Structure 1
Amino acid sequence: MNSSSTASAEVGLRLVVPDRTTVPLLATLEYAADDPYAIRVAFHVGDDDPVEWIFARELLTVGVVRRVGDGDVQVWPADDVRDRSLNLSLSSPFGTAHFEAPLTPLTDFLNRTYEIVAAGRESDFIDIEAELDDLLWHS
């Protein structure tokens, strides 16, 4: 991957546990023009392999200004506007996790993704023929 078609960032997050204390951890965010709708996030938890999630770039973008998400991934800004953080809730059959992330590094990362692929231009970066061939080949 060349740097003009990808973006990545390491962001320090806080895992919010039930008693409202937080546990710091690191996440790596990745974006690539060849998958223009998706953000990949790897949560680094101790010495284990990272826990990876993929979700829509638009979900993070909208979550900066208002609560969004119906299901496994929900994103919303902090209740206090002075608290420059973003909330991220992830649910799976194995449990639920709530993270708080600093807003500035996330918005910097998102801005870089929109420099790579502008909003509304995502379909220009998808090879529909190759995707259809892949679907038909595996069916």
Structure 2
Amino acid sequence: MNSSDTTATAELGLRLVVPERAAVPLAARVKYSSNDPYAIRIAFHTGEEDPVEWIFARELLTVGIVRPVGEGDVRVWPSKDENGERNVSIALSSPFGQAEFDTQVSPLAEFLHRTYEIVPAGQEAQFVDLDDEIQQHLHS
């Protein structure tokens, strides 16, 4: 895992869950920045030239380690693999299709822990420059 004072990144090993088939291993790069303190970006490396990127609420991934959370496009819940090891499952849905992934709890929890060292829970608003955000939206 790489990290600086304001960002954290990590590579996660995922498995794409395919009904009635063996799971397909994938890699994903997770990134957190204090510039966007509520969000975690996950780039799924699917074998295509450009990874598929989704943005998740940090709290969604954190809560999803211990109990089911989310509705609609993104759902996260605790699960176990075929060996009984603790995992986290992530289901994504978009107009282009649906996918379900699982990953081991430990690397995800370690990454999330690092994000909370950068921006503690409840202090996210202190890292948002509201005036800058408004200016960006007015000029886009």
Q: Give the TM-score range, shorter chain.
A: over 0.9
Structure 2: gaps (5+ residues): none
1:47 Cα deviation from its structure 2 partner: 4.2
Q: Does 1:40 align with 2:38?
A: no
C-alpha separation between the residues in 2 aligned to 1:9 and 1:19? 30
Identity %: 59
C-alpha separation between the residues in 1 aligned to 2:112 and 2:136? 29
8 A contact 2:7–2:118 mirrored in 1: yes
2:127 match: 125
1:36 Cα deviation from its structure 2 partner: 0.1
1:101 Cα deviation from its structure 2 partner: 0.4
1:136 Cα deviation from its structure 2 partner: 2.2
1:21 Cα deviation from its structure 2 partner: 1.9
SS across alignment from 2:117: helix
Deviations 1:59-108 (A, max 9, x none): 0000000000011110000058x421100000011110000101100000
1:59 match: 60
User: Letter of the aligned partner of 1:34 in structure 2?
Assistant: N
Q: Does 1:111 align with 2:110?
A: no
1:117 Cα deviation from its structure 2 partner: 0.1
SS across alignment from 1:89: strand
Q: What does 1:1-139 correspond to in 2, within 5 Å? A: 3-78=4-79, 82-138=84-140
Deviations 1:24-59 (A, max 9, x none): 010000000000000000000114210000010000
C-alpha separation between the residues in 2 aligned to 1:66 and 1:48? 34
8 A contact 2:80–2:87 mirrored in 1: no
Deviates more, 1:44-53 or 1:24-33: 44-53
TM-score normalised by the chain length of structure 2:
0.92
C-alpha separation between the residues in 1 aligned to 2:113 and 2:6? 13
User: Letter of the aligned partner of 1:61 in structure 2?
Assistant: T
